[in-house]
Structure formats: structure tokens, C-alpha cells
Structure 1
């Protein structure tokens, strides 16, 4: 069965959101320091490499997120790409919990909360912030990286327990 629907202002977008849910994407936790000094973070699937020179990432945050304002006004933020063993962390940061950092190993990296177990960590300086529709787009220049080997935790059809397995991944290079 094929679903077809026009996507225009004021019209239902169920087909569009269903189509986008079928795009496999990595999962990352984005963190920053709030004005009160406490850490905040949220799970995102809308993240990508933006530029190689300078090395930059693009992150998209829903306006309804409690972390939206701190991220929109921060000088720095952290991107933590999650590995396949971090489903619990993903669920914690996807929740509306009050203290998402309570049961997660983390430390301060300057003004950026850094999740200790994330296999990929990118510390970013905010270089651009703008709103589009119901989301805010952040562009951050990467100033520090930490990498360890891990299979990724990815999202597909609104499920983030789906994993790519090493034996099923093929390189075409």
C-alpha cells in the first residue's frame, strides 16, 4: 500500500512524518549548561556533519524541548553519539525526566556536561542558531573530539533499540 498526502501549511503531515521515520539515523545526546549552572541534555536523531573546514555539526531541537532555550543561548554544547549498549541512556534523555543526569556517568568538560560512556564525543562552539518551523537549528564548530570503537545505536521507525550488527554492515569503499 502506498500512502500519498499533500504537505502544506495547515494540512496533516502524517505521511511525511511516517516517511521520515523510515530514514535510519544515529542517536546522540546533546548537552549544555543552563543559566542556573545545572546540566541539561536531550536525545536527538536530527544531527549531521555540516562542514569539514571548519569541522562542524548541525543539530535540530524541537521548540517544545526544555533544553531548547539553554541550547539556543549557549556558547558551547556537547554531542554524544551513542553506541549499541546505551539504549538506557537514550531512553533517559528521550524522557521528560527532571534530572536526566542522576543515573548517568558524566563530568564537566569546561562548561559542557560530558557523558563518560559515549563512544563519540564532540565538544562544539556554537556558531549559528536559527529557527525554522517548529524547531531550532544549531550549528557548532567542533573544538574537541574523543572516539572509541562501538557499534552504533540507531533509530528506525521511531524505535531506538534497533541496531546495526557488525556482520550485517558492509563497506563499499
Structure 2
């Protein structure tokens, strides 16, 4: 049963979740020859055998419509200093890829310079409140050593190892 959150609980929950450090990714899909993408912080590995990930997409997003239709998507895991890309893909509108270098990799748009890449085929779509959780079988993965871009307390940053 879904119980609506009270305004106070919604505010507190939002503040609690702002305190959770999350990776910053741009999830992409191709609609014909037109790339689509959006910034997503709800991304995680799900399984190693078989390799799977999950991303949460807003129910009303154009990207979700494309992912449903194409059955594949890419996850561009952003690195330190790529907050401009995160902001570009967080906005609404059809021209997010204007001026952004990308290539097609395993059927999904791969942003040039993103230090992490995972291409997936859709395994399942699961309702999750105002979002849909997309479960993906990993078809391709690649990485380059670079500190990650993270989001914490509504601010972009990075991770550094704790010094002893």
C-alpha cells in the first residue's frame, strides 16, 4: 500500500538522502540516430554473476520511453571535473548532446572522456514510486583510472582515500 509522505517527512527524507554520497552518471540510449541522455545518481551494481546493474529513471522521462523501446542503454560514469556534463544532462530539452563528443558503443551513446562505461540490455523494468528501476545485463564495460564525480549534500565533489 502506498501512503503519501507528509510534507515534513518528505523534507526530512530528502535531507537524509542528500547526505548519502552517490556516483554521478549519464544514462544514454539511442532513438534511431538521435542520442538521448540524462544525469542519474540512482545507479548501482546489482550482480556479478551474471554482471548486472540498475538505474532509476523518472517515470515521465523521454529517456525511459527510448530505453523501453530500444531494450538497451549505456551508463557513462563521470569523473572528477565533469560536473559541467552532469549539469548539461540534468536539464530538460532535446539538445543535451549539442557540443558533446560521443560515439556508439554496444548500441548506446558513449560520452568521450567519461572514465567509466557500462553498456546494457534491459533485463527488467520494476515500478518504484515516481521512478522505474531498470535492471540491465552488462554487455560491455570499460574504465580509465580517474577519481569519480560524486554528489553529496547537493554539491559535486570526488572521493579520496582516507589517509592513515
Contact 1:72–1:136 (Cα < 8 Å) also in 2: no
| Runs of 4+ in structure 1 over 6 Å off | none
- Deviation of 1:171 after TM superposition, in Å, equals 8.2
What does residue 102 of structure 1 align with? 98
Q: Tell me the distance in 2 between the aligned counterparts of 1:26 and 1:10.
A: 26
Q: 2:19 aligns with which of 6, 19, 22?
A: 22
Q: Tell me the distance in 1 between the aligned counterparts of 2:111 and 2:42.
A: 19
Q: Tell me the distance in 1 between the aligned counterparts of 2:163 and 2:51.
A: 24
Q: Tell me the distance in 2 between the aligned counterparts of 1:63 and 1:75.
A: 16
RMSD across aligned C-alpha pairs, in angstroms?
A: 1.9
Contact 2:106–2:139 (Cα < 8 Å) also in 1: no
What does residue 29 of structure 2 align with? 32
Residue aligned with 2:135, SS: strand
Aligned residues: 161
Unaligned runs of 5+ in 1: 1-6
* Aligned ranges 1:1-16 → 2 under 5 Å: 8-12=3-7, 13-16=10-13
- Deviation of 1:109 after TM superposition, in Å, equals 1.8
Instruction: Provide the TM-score with structure 2 as the length reference.
Output: 0.90
Q: 1:51 aligns with which of 28, 47, 53?
A: 47
Point out the more displaced range, 89-98 or 53-62: 89-98
- Deviation of 1:163 after TM superposition, in Å, equals 2.2
Contact 1:126–1:141 (Cα < 8 Å) also in 2: yes
Q: Tell me the distance in 2 between the aligned counterparts of 1:134 and 1:9.
A: 12
- Deviation of 1:56 after TM superposition, in Å, equals 0.5
- Deviation of 1:125 after TM superposition, in Å, equals 1.0
What does residue 138 of structure 2 align with? 142
Contact 1:106–1:116 (Cα < 8 Å) also in 2: yes
The structure where strand makes up a greater share of residues is 2
Q: Tell me the distance in 1 between the aligned counterparts of 2:3 and 2:139.
A: 39
